[in-house]
Amino acid sequence: MTPFLRDLLESIGLRKRKGSRIGLRPHREVVVSLGLDAAYERVLDAFVRILGANVYVDDRATSSIEAGFGTVNQERVRASLRSDGATHTRIHIEAYYPAGSGSRERSLAVEALADALEAGVGD
């Protein structure tokens, strides 16, 4: 197969791209030694202080926070919190991107937020 034909087939989706990670988003899970309410406050604080993000969704009823970085059609980060008892909370941090922007293997925002929460930022 010629390089031209291979590239053409890849561009119209008839040939699988090498290393394709369709449907996978950069994510990390962190467990903190805090109750749900205190963990929620810590995540909100870290979004603003560590990432400098704008919080777009602050939904305590579903224990989810969504934030972005001020430009249209850029990466957003979502944190979903779940209680693991009175003294532990599990935090799932996930990056997502607008349609058509392609998937990425890593998100520096996800890594920075998870690292900050593991280090106890806001204590």
Alpha helices in 1-123 (DSSP H): 3-11, 36-49, 108-119
Distance, in Å, from the CA atom of 74 to the CA atom of 63, rounded to the nearest integer, reads 23
What range does the domain containing 109 cover? 21-119
Residue carrying the six token digits 């034909």: 5
Q: Provide the 10 A C-beta neighbour count for residue 51.
A: 19
| pLDDT score at 31 | 95
For the entire predicted model, the pTM comes to 0.75
Say if 68 falls within a structural domain: yes
Would residue 7 count as lying in a domain?
no
Which domain CATH number covers 85? Answer: 3.30.530.20
Per the domain annotation, does 8 fall within a domain?
Answer: no
Cβ atoms of 91 and 28 closer than 8 Å: no
119 in Cβ contact with 46 (< 8 Å)? no
**Lowest-confidence pick of 7-21, 27-41, 42-56, 82-96:** 7-21
Quick: pLDDT tens for 23-58: 578 999 999 999 999 999 999 999 999 999 999 999
| Domain annotation covers residue 93 | yes
Q: At what angle do helices 36-49 and 108-119 cross, to 10 degrees?
A: 130
Whether 78 maps to a domain, the answer reads: yes
Does residue 3 sit within a domain? no
Q: What is the DSSP letter of 33?
A: S
Contact call for residues 65 and 47 (beta carbons, < 8 A): yes
- Does residue 76 lie in a domain region? yes
Beta-carbon contacts of 36 under 8 Å, excluding residues fewer than 6 positions away, are 63, 81, 82, 83, 89
The domain tally of the chain equals 1
Report yes or no on 9 lying in a domain. no
pLDDT of residue 8 exceeding 90: no
Beta bridge partners of 52: none
